[in-house]
Structure formats: structure tokens, C-alpha cells
Amino acid sequence: MPCIIYTSLLFVYFLSYSSCIQAETMQSTPPINNFAPIYHYDPKVTSEVHPHFTTELNPNIIINTSSALSLKISDLSIQFIQNIKDTITRQNYHSFKHLIATMLWQYRYTLAGATLIGSYSITTLFLATDYYIHLHNHQLWARWKPEYTFEQLCTMSPKHLTQELLTAINEVNYNKNNPTDFNHPLILFLTTIDKEITICKRYIIMAQYIKRLHLMKIFPINDNKINEVNELLQRALFIKHLFLSWLSDYNLNNSRR
């Protein structure tokens, strides 16, 4: 019985003591609204802390400049076309068309004269350049063996003439950096002879049109020049034929071996 009484008294004592402490705490604690946080800064740096940073993320960024440029040009093109569509309306189109027609009719004589002078100048320039600069070069393959006429070349032995042609090709077109190069002289010969044939054909076509229009008196051409260029064209085609015939036989013999 006394133990129970002592226990009850001790419980009441602790209960009252805790109530007093709680009341004091509530009185000494400031309100929440007036609470100000306190920061403590410790500048001491110890060697015990060893921060370690790892960069495991390695992005691989590839910038394709050509794609970016293509997209930019495409955007500009679309914007330009849209601006044209917005600007050129039906009314503006008819006004612009009427303005162009009026200007063409107003300056018709000036435009016609400028067109004639420009066409004459360009045609004359081509004819003079082809004949006096390109075709009068004595190193042309079309002028190879000038002591023989075209008819005389056709009557000569093709085999003997081809051997002389190959010797001349190697003497003229040999590779100075690599004299033993076999293909360089042949390729250069084909390129040169094709250019000569193209120039001859161009000159003949232009001269024939001028002759049909009866304008030979005002252009630097005549029948003698046309016949001379025709002969040069025949010689160039004949020489190229000799070379291609030898080349085909050479390839055939190599394939059989």
C-alpha cells in the first residue's frame, strides 16, 4: 500500500514538472512570424574533405554545316517566293506587262539596232578567233604533214602512216616529269584533236548560215576560207581515224594475250 502511494506521488510530481517546463518554453519561444534564421559560417578548410567531381556525360555534338546552309537557303527561297506572291497581284502583273510593252515599243529601234550590232560583233569575233588564232596554228594535228595533200595522205600506207603518227605523238606530247609514261601522250592527243574538230565544225556551220543569208560581204569569210577549213576538218578526222584504228588493234592484241 505505501508503495502505491509513493508511486502515485512521484507520477504527479513528474507531471507537474513537465507542465512547468512546457509553459516556460512557450513563453521564451518567439512567434513564428518574428523568427529570423541564423546562419553560421565556418571558414575553416580542412584537408580531410576531398571533393571529387566526375563528368560521365560526354555529349557528342556534330554540326553539319552543309545541312544548316541548305536549310537556311531553303527558308530564304520560300520567304522570297512568298514575298513575290504577296507583291505581284493580278493588277500589278497587268500594270507591269503594260509598262514592258510600252517600253519595248518606245525603244524598238534602239533595241533592234543593239541586237544587230551585238550579234554581228559576236559572230565576227568567233569567226576571226577560230580562223586566225586557232586554225592558223602550224602545230595543229590537222596540219600534220603539210607537204602532202589530203588525197595524197589517203593513198599512203595506213600502217606506215600510223607508225609515223605515233612517233610524232610521243615526241610532241611526252610527259616531261615521267618520260616513260605511255598513256599521257595518247590522252593529250585525243583531247587536242577533238578540240580541233569542234572548232572546224563550228566555223563551217556559222559560215554556211552566213552564206545562205547572203551576208558574206559584211563578215570576214569567203569561199577560200570555207574550203580551207573543210580540208582541215577532213585531215583531222582522217588522222583521228588512223589513231583509233591502231588503238583498237592494240587493245585487241592485249586482250588475246
- Tell which wins on pLDDT, 45 or 206: 206
- Which cell numbers hold the place of 142? 590537222
pLDDT, residue 14, reads 47
**224, 140 contact by CB (below 8 A):** no
246 pLDDT band, cuts 50/70/90, is: very high
Q: How far apart are CA 35 and CA 1, in angstroms?
A: 51
pLDDT, residue 89, reads 67
98 pLDDT band, cuts 50/70/90, is: confident
pLDDT, residue 67, reads 61
* For residue 71, pLDDT beyond 50: yes
CA distances from 232 to 74, 163, 213, 239 (A): 51, 21, 24, 11
pLDDT, residue 198, reads 97
* For residue 191, pLDDT beyond 70: yes
Phi, psi (deg, nearest 5) at residue 144: -65, 135
Question: Which amino acid is present at 28?
Answer: S
Listed residue (70, 249, 52, 83) closest to 166, CA to CA: 249
181 pLDDT band, cuts 50/70/90, is: confident
Residue range 5-10: mean pLDDT, rounded: 46
Q: How far apart are CA 59 and CA 166, in angstroms?
A: 63
Residue range 18-42: mean pLDDT, rounded: 45
119-142 pLDDT, tens digit per residue, is: 999 999 999 999 999 999 989 999
